[in-house]
Chain A
Amino acid sequence: MSAAAEQAWVRQAKAQSALSKLFDWKPFLVVMCMLPAVGLLMVFLTYPLGLGIWLAFTDTTIGRSGRWVGLENFEYMLEDPIWWNAVFFSVFYTGIATIGKFGLGLWLALLLNNHLPFKSMLRAIILLPWIVPTVLTAIAFWWIYNPQFSIISWIFIELGLRETNIDFINTAWPARWSLIGANIWRGIPFVAISLLAGLQTISPSLYEAALLDGSTGWQRFRYITFPMLLPILAIVMTFSIIFTFTDFQLVYAITRGGPVNSTHLLATLAFQRGIPGGQLGEGAAIAVSMIPFLVFATLFSYFALARRKWQQGESND
């Protein structure tokens, strides 16, 4: 009996099928477990990105598959003043709006970090501009900047300070500044709330020690707050730069890239060429031309701001 039972048991152990062996094999398991994630990434990330890059090298139009044209789209782009203008404005828009958002956002975060009555309520209200859908913001600003019906112009004229409407979006430079203003207004809450979260992680004992040493307010900001905030600043700035550089809705809804293409961002120009203009290939080339700028901006934030040794628990050099 016992011998037979032992035999049966041994046979069972030997009977591990090829399939079950396969599943015991670690490399196979690793591949199987990764497959769903890889599949999702391929279908929803790699394929569209790859398709976009491939389209940039063809003359595809909407509804007609194109021929391979090599670098032709890029060659035309480089001699197209409209593209150069879009590059200039994208960089300018991102640069100025980021400075504005971070300057004002940091200031707001420092104010909110104080003990105020109704603190949580205030913080919630601050977030409002960021919560409102961008298109609604854009439409509101479109009315505020309207050449005939602007409320700001109306107030100035009613007060007798001006006789004509203010030129917000009718000529190139005012239009550029107006869009930057709208973007800053919208972006401040995100920066302020993120930095506020960072501020609250700074240990109060550092400030107490500094106070005992007789530091001034500026010194406490410069030597405690700012360095302690840098890691989160780097991350928030990376995100902010990417969002601003690829902004679309504000510009498209307020000026459609006008007057005379002076406020086209690369994203709006790519859309204008690709969808209403029907030149998918050219549109894709313009969209692809954004990639180097974004990679550069990301690397800059990362290396310039975030690669501090103390983040890994070491002291600065």
Chain B
Amino acid sequence: MANIITRRSILAAGAGAAALAAGGEALAQSQVQVASGVAAPTLPIENGATLRMLRPVRFVAPDEEVFRANCARFTQQTGVQVRVDFVGWEDINQQTAVTANTGAGPDIIVGFGDAPHIYADKLVEVSDIAEYLGRKYGGWMFVGNKLGKRHGTNNWIGLPFGGTAGPLVWRKSAVNQVGYQTPPNDLPGFLEMCKKLRQAGKPSGFALGNAVGDGNGFANWLMWSHGASITDEAGAVSVSSPQTLAALNYLKELYPTFVDGGTISWGDISNNQAYAANSLFVTSNGVSLYFALKNDPATRAIADDTEHSVMPLGVASSWPSAPLTLNAMVFRHSRFPNASKALLAFLMEQPQYEPWLNANLGYWAQPLNAYKDASVWSSDPKIALFRDSMNNQFWNGYKGPISEASGQANAEYVLVQMFAAVAAGQSTPEAAMREADRRARRIFRR
């Protein structure tokens, strides 16, 4: 999961206006390939429909401007009033829970990845619009499929809207100095590089503290790149395994190469601070770090020297990072399900979605294949990597079904603390694994 809580960069308002203006011309210039002749599902809009929608607050100002403009255009075309409320990132899960369980509140919530799976029974199926969008826009990418469909079925309960993953962020000069063009993609090679970086006084560092985004992202990478997982396909706890042990032993060697002072007390912001202060040279973070550096004249040089690449794969076949995903859902208590679905489909159609994607500058990546040709991905070569975020074959709670428990395991840092205990020398790998297994069993007992 990417570090998205620490978004320090607010782009100049000028960029917002430019992006908005570009939206109008997008039709003419767009490179996005749209399949022709795909019939839209008939969604007769209910009489007198009005809609209320919640979504997380923006990264950058143009996100909100374009989103509001798109909704206004829907109102113009259909006469349906749409009210959008932007909610803090920390609050949206709680508000989703309350909405789902009281059966009152907004018609649509654009929540985070897991939410539709937790409240599946309270939601209207959106298979018709999801399949239509998939046919028209080159098909859904892996995470789109995974987070949209109810586990083990073809029924869409969520409509993934965008996602962002956390790659390896590194200083080109430091990596070159110790003799590499790019960081090695295999685990032993990566360890070797980190050792050399430490000797050269340009250390790496990854969060091992109670950091929701960065800590869990690093722990998941360690697990997945060694073939370990917190649950198996059926959702049974599978922490105790030789693969987990291998991951723990790997970290035991990797941790001493980390930045002086250690990373066990790091929060989500700590690696950003250390990286911006020239005391950290390789880390993992969302795209926000790069933009924060790029937009501040004082750190512009660091941004110019910064590269993104996927975390070393190890035994994984795709980038071992679960993208943080926006996932839209329509509630059964809504009196206007057709209008709700029509709005969501409308927002994901090319004339609306592409300008929105471009306005987000790469903070969000599309879940539909066709949008890979949107101009944002060629605007800055350093963010091109994020284009394929949604093709990762991983999600929170991998390999099991997405559930309330997988979210709780993240929130309680079960895996992060397992790794931190070994890094700190507080437990042996075996003891740490047993303890994590015990906690996971409690969390996944239902």
Contacts and interface: CB of A to CB of B under 8 A. Distances in A.
B417 A261 contact: yes
Contacts of A175: 265
Contact of B260 (A81, A148, A260, A273): A148
A167 B426 contact: no
Nearest to A147: B261
A47 B238 CA distance: 42
Interface string B97-123: 110110000000000000000000000
B264 A170 contact: yes
A259 B209 contact: yes
Nearest to B435: A81
B264 A260 contact: yes
Interface in B378-430: 404, 407-408, 411-412, 417, 420-421, 424, 426
Nearest to B99: A63
Contacts of B209: 256, 258-259
A64 B279 contact: no
B235 interface: no
Contacts of B97: 62-64, 278
B94 interface: yes
A276 B265 contact: no
B13 interface: no
B262 interface: yes
B82 interface: no
Interface in A126-152: 145-150
A64 B266 CA distance: 32
Interface residues of B, number: 37
Nearest to B446: A59
Contact of B404 (A146, A257, A278): A278
A227 interface: no
Contact of A278 (B266, B407, B420): B407
Interface residues of A, number: 36
Given A63-B94, A261-B417, A276 B101 contact: no
Nearest to B259: A148
A165 interface: yes
Contacts of A273: 412
A279 B264 CA distance: 25
Given A171-B424, A259-B265, A276-B411, A64 B417 contact: no
B277 interface: yes
A17 B407 CA distance: 66
A300 B212 CA distance: 40
A61 B263 contact: no
A63 B264 contact: no
A278 B411 contact: yes
A78 interface: no
B442 A258 contact: no
B139 interface: no
Tell me which of A146, A175, A262 has the highest count of chain B C-beta atoms within 10 A of its own C-beta.
A146
B262 A147 contact: yes
B274 interface: yes
B417 A149 contact: no
B408 A279 contact: yes
A81 B442 CA distance: 13
A64 B279 CA distance: 45
Interface in B246-272: 259-267, 270
B54 to A, nearest CB: 14
A151 to B, nearest CB: 13
B151 to A, nearest CB: 19
A164 B210 CA distance: 24
Contacts of B424: 170-172, 259-260
B210 A256 contact: yes
Contacts of B260: 148, 164-165
Contacts of B98: 63
Interface string B265-290: 11100100110010110000000000
Contacts of A65: 101
A147 B356 CA distance: 40
A169 interface: yes
Nearest to A82: B439
A260 B442 contact: no
Contacts of A150: 261
Contact of A148 (B100, B273, B442): B273
A278 B93 CA distance: 10
A169 B262 CA distance: 10
A255 interface: yes
A167 B261 contact: yes
Contacts of B404: 61, 278
Tell me which of A146, A164, A261, A278 has the highest count of chain B C-beta atoms within 10 A of its own C-beta.
A278
B412 A277 contact: yes
A164 B147 CA distance: 45
Interface in B304-335: none
A64 B262 contact: no
B435 A259 contact: no
Given A63-B101, A76-B442, A148-B277, A259 B264 contact: yes
A255 B266 CA distance: 9
A147 B101 contact: no
A174 to B, nearest CB: 10
Interface of B: 93-94, 96-98, 100-101, 209-210, 212, 259-267, 270, 273-274, 277, 279-280, 404, 407-408, 411-412, 417, 420-421, 424, 426, 435, 442
Closest 3 CB pairs of A and B: A63-B97, A147-B261, A256-B210
Given A148-B273, A175-B265, A276-B412, 6 more contacts: A63-B100, A64-B97, A148-B270, A170-B265, A260-B421, A278-B408
Interface of A: 61-65, 76, 81, 145-150, 153, 164-165, 167, 169-172, 175, 255-262, 272-273, 276-279
7 contacts: A147-B261, A147-B266, A148-B280, A170-B262, A255-B265, A258-B209, A260-B421
